[in-house]
Amino acid sequence: EEANQWVTSLEKVISSIRNLNNKQKSEHWIINCMRKADKNKDNKMTLKELKHFLRQINVEVSDTYAAEIFKKCDTSNSGTLEGTEIKEFYDLLTHREEIKVIYESYAKTEGQMSDEDLVSFLQKEQREQASLADAHRLIEECEMDETAKQQKRMTKDGFLMYLQQEETCIFNPAHKKVYQDMTQPLNHYFISSSHNTYLMEDQLKGPSSTEAYIKALMKSCRCVELDCWDGPHGEPVIYHGHTLTSKVLFKDVIKAIKDYAFKMSEYPVILSLENHCAVDQQKIMARYLKSILGDALVTKPLGGKMPTNFPSPK
């Protein structure tokens, strides 16, 4: 008898889910996802838990904007969202009128996109040579509603998920790697360059640091600036001359450049030396450049003869 009650109850639950309209199904899916993100299981969502939920469903927004929407939806001023507040938060955060318009123009199957509707969208809007197999793959990857997935359909939430996939990015994935001709002379290229590289903050009284060079090089910067001045104890220093910025030893900067120059890029690094040092400390600079950089420093024409053009990055 108890088993029959379980079976009957489960059948009612399944039947009620199947009979939900699209809006109710969407709300049901959102509630299920949010329950997973509700760490302490109190049926209330803190801002931190909501951010975790958004990451789960691949919605990327700034912390500031998320906090602003959270405050707007927290009508009870409790510092948490519950019930309809959670649904309102999700709707406000993900609403984009232009996506709603295009989705509805292709969602011709009971308000949802069938696999054929999706193929039509991919072919007409995305200019892709898409097939039903492609549509099925996207539905499998992006659709969170299990009922829609079984019916080979894509809901608006699934469509939002699809639009945030890497393959829909306007950026050509083939361009993630260097694709240009890199055999031209150096002066034929725009070169990623840094001005006053040593500064961590402002140009009048901020700190100078080797860390600034490391950050620039780790962003693939290929030309860094070194403003060199005579320092105490015969050690050249780098700083923004005639200002209150702090000083950093020339040799420490060269060591940092040696360690990080080619971690992010194989192409040459240009050291732009703004040299204010007297001859004695210029000699010390030259010694450090040779001893620290070693074979990485170009000290004579490549190929053993005077070139007629600049060398290429290769």
pLDDT tens digits, one per residue of 208-265: 999 999 999 999 999 999 999 999 999 999 999 999 999 999 999 999 999 999 999 9
Q: Tell me the two tokens of residue 242.
A: 């005639």
Q: Tell me the two tokens of residue 149.
A: 């997935």
Domain ranges for the chain: 20-94, 97-168, 186-304
- Per-residue pLDDT band for 44 (boundaries 50, 70, 90) equals confident
Mean pLDDT across 14-23: 54
- Per-residue pLDDT band for 150 (boundaries 50, 70, 90) equals very high
Residues 272/225, Cβ–Cβ less than 8 Å: yes
What pLDDT is attached to residue 92?
A: 79
Question: Coil, strand, or helix at residue 72?
Answer: helix
**Alpha helices, DSSP H, located in the chain:** 2-18, 22-37, 47-56, 63-73, 84-94, 97-106, 115-124, 132-142, 146-150, 156-163, 210-218, 250-260, 279-293
Q: Tell me the two tokens of residue 79.
A: 């510092």
Q: What fold does the segment set 186-304 form as a domain? A: TIM Barrel (3.20.20)
Residues 45/84, Cβ–Cβ less than 8 Å: no
For the chain, what is the mean pLDDT?
86
Catalytically annotated residues = 195, 240
Residues 164/59, Cβ–Cβ less than 8 Å: yes
- Show Cβ contacts of residue 287 under 8 Å, excluding neighbours closer than 6 positions: none
Residues 215/209, Cβ–Cβ less than 8 Å: no
> Per residue in 60-109, pLDDT tens?
778 888 888 888 888 888 888 777 787 787 777 777 889 899 999 999 99
Second-level CATH architecture of 97-168? Orthogonal Bundle (1.10)
> Per residue in 260-300, pLDDT tens?
999 999 999 999 999 999 999 999 999 999 999 999 999 88
Q: Do domains 97-168 and 186-304 have the same CATH topology?
A: no
Pick the CATH number of 20-94 from 1.10.238.10, 2.40.440.10, 1.10.1660.10, 3.30.1280.10: 1.10.238.10
- Show Cβ contacts of residue 45 under 8 Å, excluding neighbours closer than 6 positions: 34, 37, 38, 53, 80, 81, 82, 86, 89
Of 277, 257, 265, 260, nearest to 314 (Cα)? 265
- Show Cβ contacts of residue 170 under 8 Å, excluding neighbours closer than 6 positions: none
| Interatomic CA distance for residues 36 and 81, integer angstroms | 15
Beta strand pairing call for 153-154 and 223-229: unpaired
| Interatomic CA distance for residues 72 and 66, integer angstroms | 10
- Judged by average pLDDT, the poorest of 111-120, 183-192, 303-312 is 303-312
Side-chain-side CA neighbours of residue 78 (13 Å): 12
What are the backbone dihedrals phi and psi of residue 133, each rounded to the nearest 5 degrees, phi first?
Answer: -60, -40
